[in-house]
Structure 1
């Protein structure tokens, strides 16, 4: 390995040590260990260290084709120490500022959406539903009133007819009355039998498709 390659390797590993420090602070800021369960923290820690190791090895592979030397670890420690001493406070403040800015923008967009889109649509939908229910009640009342009026009119119209028919029925000979009554009884019996068969068929079909 040439001196130039070794120098680039040192610089890359110092940079990766600093990046590792920033990544660790970012990871701890978002993880919030005190609020997480232990198994979740464990899984996240394993994933974090695995990703960091792969990233460092990838940079090392780009610089010197993955050759590992003792000074590489020293460079990583130096980069991490330099970050802790010189850049940590600045980075943490910058990270908090970015997080707060993102939260503020998100809350502003959410309030804007709620004010300009969600609430107007909600009130319009509620107004339409209320108006529909009110119109439905009014129409139902009108229909009931019309039906009552029609029944009253029909009752008035058919009352004389019923009275005339009752008088005519009294004038009908007895043997005709008996024949009509017999026919009516037979017809009623047929209707009853048909009704029973239909009900039996419906119960049979229901027992097939529905379990008790």
Structure 2
């Protein structure tokens, strides 16, 4: 391998180390914000390190055809250390601002959707409900007004029917009451 190839490989591995540091901080920030369960954290950790391994060895495969040498690991370590010492605080501040902006935008879209979709639908529902209640009230009042002349006929029919069924209903009630009293007396006589 030429000296230029080794320099390009070293630079690529330093950049990969920095990228792994950035990905690690991003992953940890989201993990803390999501409050995952312990087994899910283990699964996500495993998947994170597998994806970092694919990132590093994929880059290594493109840069120098996958030749692994000791200075490659030094390059990854140097890149990660440089990131953690120099760029971590500014990156985390930027990441937290991006997350805060994303949450603000999400809440804004929810509020906008609520006021553009839900509030008008609720308003239309209330208007239709009030119109329907008004029409029903008008219909009932008009019906009562129109049926008022026939009210005396209805009373006469009701009184005639009631006078005919009052005696049989009274007899049925007395018969049912006697049977009920007999049943309760019989049940009280039994020992439970």
> How far apart are the structure 1 equivalents of 2:51 and 2:103?
27
> How far apart are the structure 1 equivalents of 2:53 and 2:150?
88
> How far apart are the structure 2 equivalents of 1:141 and 1:153?
19
Kindly provide the CA deviation profile for residues 35-94 of structure 1, in whole angstroms up to 9, marking residues without a partner as x: 321111111111111111111111111101111111111110100000000000010001
| Worse overlay, 109-118 or 6-15 | 109-118
Consecutive unaligned residues in structure 1, runs of 5 or more: 157-212
- Deviation of residue 137 (structure 1)? 4.5
CA 1:53–1:144 in 2, change beyond 3 Å: closer, same or farther? farther
Query: Is the 8 Å Cα contact of residues 16 and 79 (structure 1) preserved in structure 2?
Result: yes
Equivalence for 2:161: none
- Deviation of residue 145 (structure 1)? 6.0
Equivalence for 1:108: 108
TM superposition score normalised by structure 2: 0.70
How much is the aligned-residue C-alpha RMSD, in angstroms?
Answer: 2.6
Equivalence for 2:68: 68
Give structure 1 regions of 4+ aligned residues with deviation exceeding 3 angstroms.
140-156
Equivalence for 2:189: none
Consecutive unaligned residues in structure 2, runs of 5 or more: 157-192
Query: Is the 8 Å Cα contact of residues 17 and 79 (structure 1) preserved in structure 2?
Result: yes
CA 1:81–1:148 in 2, change beyond 3 Å: closer, same or farther? same
| Worse overlay, 136-145 or 110-119 | 136-145
> How far apart are the structure 1 equivalents of 2:142 and 2:118?
36
Rg comparison, structure with higher value:
1
Equivalence for 2:47: 47
Query: Is the 8 Å Cα contact of residues 14 and 77 (structure 1) preserved in structure 2?
Result: yes
> How far apart are the structure 2 equivalents of 1:61 and 1:144?
90
